[in-house]
């Protein structure tokens, strides 16, 4: 999850009020400026996981070797499914809930099959999971080396590989300061090797609200015309950490690693599935490289609105304490709802690095395989032959609700 700027509750002293007003007079980007907020309740059960912003410095990230665990999985996933009480796909395009599995008990083979399932379904949900943060980190390390975030909070207990998501009554989101579209993102997509199979566990949540939505990059790609698909496959885009770093500094935080900007393909191929996914997001993608600004703006605006507005690409999850979501940051974007103030919403994220994003051309050259459209693969598996529309020819389609 990405940080969201909020307005602090008023303080009582004149000096503190003036200091607070000075901060509020600055222009903060609401997506990138985390506030220092804490209700002061140290008796809170999970106080050790409340957010803190240590003043430490980390070196720049360099390329690292990762193993794609989904490539090692049994495609039938029988080891994983045989121990589940129920496996339920929540929408055709994205989202699966598994009941009856204890994530603490997974074998390596089952973890590999989970990685493949997440790669296929985008996000997989589990409830009533008792794994602690150390077990969550161990599970995440199976999928890759863990990422340490340069600007957002870590827990008070000093676990630097844990990303803390925390809001309480002292942190009220300011809806006048941001649009919902801006909140959609793929975690730290500006990194050289952005995250892969990422997990989030909610440890305290509101009775209602605070849901998370995910949107499928596979489904977005499949929805496009063949000519537009081909065009997007030829493009790259700039992903930037600059606004997030500047927002952290504006909020008074130390940036623990120098911000970077990285160019990634607009359409990437998942190494385990071989499926094509649109890889841009409103949070961190700044421009299409090598095209006029007006063209870049038009392309990104269209894609961003499809991500955030098309319900056919999305799944929405209502959290409960001890719920866990595991999603593949390479093929989905996500956003939370901020409708639960003044309740506490507290979650812990573990974030493995994936491979450098691979374009369609590079994937096909390096593997000798043809990258595919997920939806066409699914239809083929169902014995359905679908003819893509010829350019310039359209057919009327009926719709009933």
Q: From residue 274, how far is each of 91, 193, 358 by CA, in Å?
A: 21, 18, 10
The answer to whether 291 and 235 have CB atoms below 8 angstroms apart is: yes
Mean pLDDT within 347-366: 98
Instruction: Tell me if residue 270 is catalytic.
Output: no
Distance CA 119, CA 343 (A): 33
Q: Write phi, then psi, for 273 (nearest 5 degrees).
A: -100, -25
Of 185, 256, 264, 353, which residue is the catalytic one? 185
Quick one: 387 exposed, middle or buried, by C-beta within 10 A (0-12, 13-18, 19+)? exposed
Q: Taking all residues of the chain, what is their mean pLDDT, rounded to a whole number?
A: 90
Q: Can you give the pLDDT at residue 235?
A: 98
pLDDT digits (tens, 9 = 90+) for 368-398: 999 999 999 999 999 998 877 644 455 555 5
Distance CA 90, CA 92 (A): 7
Dihedral angle, C-alpha 253, 255, 256, 262, nearest 10 °: 150
Cβ within 8 Å of residue 237, ≥6 positions away: 263, 264, 265, 266, 279, 280, 285, 286, 287, 288, 289, 300
Q: Can you give the pLDDT at residue 401?
A: 60
Is residue 9 pLDDT above 70, yes or no? no
Q: Can you give the pLDDT at residue 3?
A: 43
Q: What is the DSSP letter of 69?
A: G
Is residue 20 pLDDT above 70, yes or no? no
Q: Comparing C-alpha atoms, which of 367, 199, 188 is closest to residue 270? A: 367
The phi-psi region of residue 128 (left if phi > 0; otherwise alpha if psi is between -120 and 50; otherwise beta) is left
Q: Can you give the pLDDT at residue 28?
A: 38
Query: How does residue 14 score in pLDDT terms, banded at 50, 70 and 90?
Result: very low
Least confidently predicted of 68-77, 124-133, 248-257, 285-294:
248-257
Distance CA 92, CA 377 (A): 13
Instruction: Tell me if residue 185 is catalytic.
Output: yes
The answer to whether 137 and 197 have CB atoms below 8 angstroms apart is: no
Is residue 173 pLDDT above 80, yes or no? no
Of 264, 349, 353, 374, which residue is the catalytic one? 349
Q: What is the pTM of this model?
A: 0.90
Least confidently predicted of 130-139, 334-343, 362-371:
334-343
Is residue 15 pLDDT above 60, yes or no? no
Least confidently predicted of 19-23, 244-248, 293-297:
19-23
Query: How does residue 13 score in pLDDT terms, banded at 50, 70 and 90?
Result: very low
Instruction: Tell me if residue 297 is catalytic.
Output: no
Q: Can you give the pLDDT at residue 34?
A: 61
Of 112, 187, 328, 373, which residue is the catalytic one? 187
Tokens 């998370």, residue located: 212
Q: Can you give the pLDDT at residue 41?
A: 78
Instruction: Tell me if residue 142 is catalytic.
Output: no
pLDDT digits (tens, 9 = 90+) for 193-210: 999 999 999 999 999 999
Distance CA 356, CA 195 (A): 10
Of 163, 334, 345, 374, which residue is the catalytic one? 334
Give the range with max mean pLDDT: 117-126, 160-169, 338-347. Answer: 117-126
């Amino acid at each position: 999850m990405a940080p969201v700027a909020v307005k602090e509750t008023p303080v009582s002293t004149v000096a503190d009020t003036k200091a607070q007003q000075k901060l509020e007079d600055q222009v903060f980007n609401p997506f990138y400026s985390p506030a220092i907020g804490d209700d002061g309740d140290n008796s809170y059960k999970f106080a050790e996981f409340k957010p803190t912003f240590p003043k430490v410095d980390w070196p720049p990230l360099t390329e690292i070797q990762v193993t794609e665990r989904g490539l090692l999985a049994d495609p039938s996933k029988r080891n994983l499914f045989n121990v589940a009480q129920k496996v339920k796909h929540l929408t055709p395009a994205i989202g699966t809930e598994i009941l009856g599995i204890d994530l603490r008990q997974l074998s390596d083979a089952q973890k590999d099959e989970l990685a493949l399932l997440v790669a296929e379904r985008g996000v997989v949900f589990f409830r009533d999971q008792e794994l602690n943060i150390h077990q969550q980190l161990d599970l995440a390390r199976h999928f890759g080396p863990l990422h340490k975030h340069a600007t957002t909070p870590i827990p008070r207990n000093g676990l630097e590989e844990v990303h803390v998501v925390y809001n309480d009554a002292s942190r009220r989101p300011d809806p006048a300061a941001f649009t919902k579209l801006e909140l959609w993102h793929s975690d730290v997509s500006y990194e050289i090797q952005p995250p892969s199979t990422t997990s989030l566990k909610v440890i305290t949540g509101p009775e209602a609200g605070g849901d998370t939505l995910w949107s499928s990059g596979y489904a977005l790609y499949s929805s496009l015309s063949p000519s537009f698909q081909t065009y997007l496959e030829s493009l790259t885009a700039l992903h930037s950490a600059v606004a997030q770093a500047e927002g952290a500094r504006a909020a008074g935080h130390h940036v623990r690693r120098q911000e970077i900007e990285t160019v990634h393909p607009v359409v990437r191929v998942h190494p385990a599935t071989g499926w094509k996914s649109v890889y841009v997001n409103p949070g961190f993608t700044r421009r299409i490289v090598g095209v006029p600004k007006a063209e870049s703006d038009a392309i990104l605006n269209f894609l961003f609105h499809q991500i955030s507005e098309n319900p056919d690409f999305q799944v929405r999850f209502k959290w409960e304490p001890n719920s866990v979501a595991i999603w593949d940051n390479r093929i989905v974007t996500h956003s939370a709802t901020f409708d639960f103030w003044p309740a506490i919403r507290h979650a812990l994220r573990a974030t493995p690095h994936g491979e450098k994003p691979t374009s369609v051309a590079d994937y096909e050259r390096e593997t000798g395989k043809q990258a595919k459209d997920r939806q066409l693969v699914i239809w083929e598996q169902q014995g359905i032959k679908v003819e893509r529309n010829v350019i310039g020819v359209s057919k009327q389609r009926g719709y009933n609700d």
